[in-house]
Amino acid sequence: MGTLTSILVLSFLIFFHELGHFLAARFFGVHVEVFSIGFGKKVFSKMVGKTEYCLSLIPLGGYVQMKGQDDRDPTKVSYDEDSYNTKAPWKRIIILFAGPFANFLLAFLLFLAIGSMGVTKFAPIIGQISPNSPALEAGLQENDRIVMINGVLIEGWDEVSQLIQESTEKLEVKIDRLGAVQTFLLNPKVNEYQNMFGETKHKKMIGIAPSGKTIEVVYGISELPKFAWQQTVKSTTLILTSLQKLVEGVVSPKELGGIISIVQVTSEASAAGLVALFALTALISVNLGVLNLLPIPALDGGHIMFNAYELLTKKAPNERVLTTMTTAGWLLLLSLMALSIFNDLYRLTNGN
């Protein structure tokens, strides 16, 4: 059941991505020859109008085949009025960007759904207090509930962390202790910590940890768009930072995961409930959007790069250079796919 859910999630994400390309292409009058979910041999095909809609054997991607545009042969062009090639570069860029944009839009919609269903957060209740910390010196105690920091009402523990980092002076912390509200003044200290990439960083701390108790926050209609936007931006930033750390060598290539990892985590998320599945689907959707915008030939970002060049210079890229770079792009992508699958299999066989 988990594997089936994973395949359905991946197929849906691919469909949404390709739908973005399809709608933008049709909007600008480009004829779409094929709309396929999956690669390889076609297992189902149906002509609707002049477009062939199909499901293909390998559900690891998909494509929209536009008239005059073929990744397998970048020199294959058509100069008919309804061809991709005859459209202005800026229109082609919009068509190319529409796919990744659809993924970001889908993530936003999923976060809207998550916010309306309820988000589980750590309650702002103090658990462990570090020795020799500002919190201990000020007199904070275990099981104190933080109700306000510097005049801002506190709903969840994430807001506590954020306000501590944003503080420029002393923190005025209001605590609910056994039904009585008390006020404390604290001076945060800058301490070292290990981030999720294993790097040593510095941040302001007052020496408290959450108790582990949770609350469920359901956002109102007026709050939902802000929540969904923040979560989409947060997911995008996380993926971009991860890519940066991979390039810098902070994150090992051994950490790359492929289709097997996606199936595993999607199965686990589906077992954890609908909110967890939606959250993971939104993250994968953002990941798909970001990766497709990388300036690698054969990806949307690479095609956008070529069209931006044409837009700026008023001349198309050299065919030989275009073919060489596209081939190199495919080799890079295939190498990354092979590495990620190898890592997945290695983790499986070693029980990690």
DSSP assignment string, 49-112: TTEEEEEEEEEEEEEEEETT--TT-TT----STTSGGGS-HHHHHHHHHHHHHHHHHHHHHHHH
Reference 15, options 57, 59, 50; nearest CA is 59
User: Residue 330, class by beta-carbon neighbours within 10 Å (0-12 exposed, 13-18 middle, 19+ buried)?
Assistant: middle
Q: Which residues contact 272 (CB under 8 A, 6 or more apart)?
A: none
Alpha carbons 13 and 19: distance in angstroms, whole number: 10
Contact 115, 228 (CB under 8 A): yes
CA proximity to 164, closest of 139, 121, 135, 193: 135
Q: Can you tell me the distance from the alpha carbon of 14 to that of 21, in angstroms, rounded to the nearest whole number?
A: 11
Q: Are 19 and 27 in contact (CB under 8 A)?
A: no
Distance, CA of 145 to chain centre? 33
Of 141, 117, 138, whose CA–CA distance to 127 is shortest?
A: 141
Q: For tokens 């293909």, what's the residue?
A: 56
The candidate with the shortest Cα–Cα distance to 238, out of 267, 273, 195, 201, is 195
Q: Is 81 a catalytic residue?
A: no
CA–CA separation, 131 and 207 (whole Å): 8
In angstroms, the CA 174 to CA 176 distance is 7
Residue type, 147: V
* Active site residue ranges: 18
